[in-house]
């Protein structure tokens, strides 16, 4: 079983993130879900991103790094949207990573000193009709990593909501969410 460090999206440490962590834990994995927003939650992506911008995206990443300090090195890093930033950085730069799973976002590997570490498993899950994922460089970054690294996979789902796998959000798609969760659990079982 895997030890997972799971970072929330721009809405904060929400019920949807807790539900996903519970799913992983019911499958026997240990999950840590740090609160990068120090108790704040938001109703809209825009409000959450505004808060993150106000404290600085580098501070969001630094909070993620601090959350990992007292945890074992052999973690699987997961991040949802904004939370993909600290997850990806830690996977690429913290020795001992076992893998990474990024939902709704992916940065170019070069943003964190790239290339993606050879042999390090990666899954990126995104909606093929989500403007945030498809038009802001995320899908291109994920494709570039997957083309260079055989252990990296990009999964696109025929939905449009950014938070398609979050059961607490209006764009939740149960079919796409179930498949993304199944793929995530399959990866964790292999690590």
Please give the tally of structural domains in the chain.
Answer: 1
Question: Which domain CATH number covers 148?
Answer: 3.40.50.1820
Provide the whole-model pTM. 0.96
Per-residue pLDDT of the chain (191 residues; tens, 9 = 90+): 999 999 999 999 999 999 999 999 999 999 999 999 999 999 999 999 999 999 999 999 999 999 999 999 999 999 999 999 999 999 999 999 999 999 999 999 999 998 999 999 999 999 999 999 999 999 999 999 999 999 999 999 999 999 999 999 989 999 999 999 999 999 999 99
Pair 20, 83: CB distance under 8 Å: no
Give the number of other Cβ atoms within 10 Å of residue 93's Cβ: 12
- Give me the pLDDT at residue 114, please: 84
Domain that includes residue 46, residue range: 3-190
Q: Which residue matches tokens 């079983």?
A: 1
Q: What is the pLDDT of residues 56-88, one digit of tens each?
A: 999 999 999 999 999 999 999 999 999 999 999
Q: What is the chain's Cα-based Rg? A: 15
Q: In this structure, what are the phi and psi dihedrals at residue 2, rounded to the nearest 5 degrees?
A: -105, 150
Q: Where are the beta strands (DSSP E) in 113-162?
A: 122-127, 152-157
Whole-angstrom distance, CA of residue 184 vs CA of residue 166: 14
Pair 180, 156: CB distance under 8 Å: no
Give the number of other Cβ atoms within 10 Å of residue 71's Cβ: 15
């Amino acid at each position: 079983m895997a030890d997972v460090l799971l970072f929330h999206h721009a809405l904060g440490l929400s019920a949807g993130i807790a539900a996903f962590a519970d799913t992983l834990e019911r499958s026997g994995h240990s999950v840590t879900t740090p609160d990068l927003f120090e108790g704040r939650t938001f109703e809209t992506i825009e409000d959450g991103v505004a808060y993150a911008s106000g404290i600085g995206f580098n501070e969001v990443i630094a909070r993620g790094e601090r959350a990992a300090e007292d945890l074992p090195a052999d973690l699987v890093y997961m991040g949802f949207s904004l939370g993909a930033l600290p997850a990806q950085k830690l996977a690429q730069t913290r020795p001992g990573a076992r893998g990474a799973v990024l939902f709704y976002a992916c940065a170019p590997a070069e943003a964190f000193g790239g290339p993606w570490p050879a042999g390090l498993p990666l899954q990126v899950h995104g909606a093929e009709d989500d403007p945030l994922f498809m038009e802001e460089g995320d899908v291109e970054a994920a494709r570039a990593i997957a083309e260079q690294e055989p252990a990296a996979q990009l999964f696109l789902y025929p939905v449009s909501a950014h938070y398609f796998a979050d059961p607490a959000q209006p764009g939740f798609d149960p079919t796409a969410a179930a498949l993304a969760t199944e793929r995530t659990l399959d990866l964790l079982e292999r690590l």
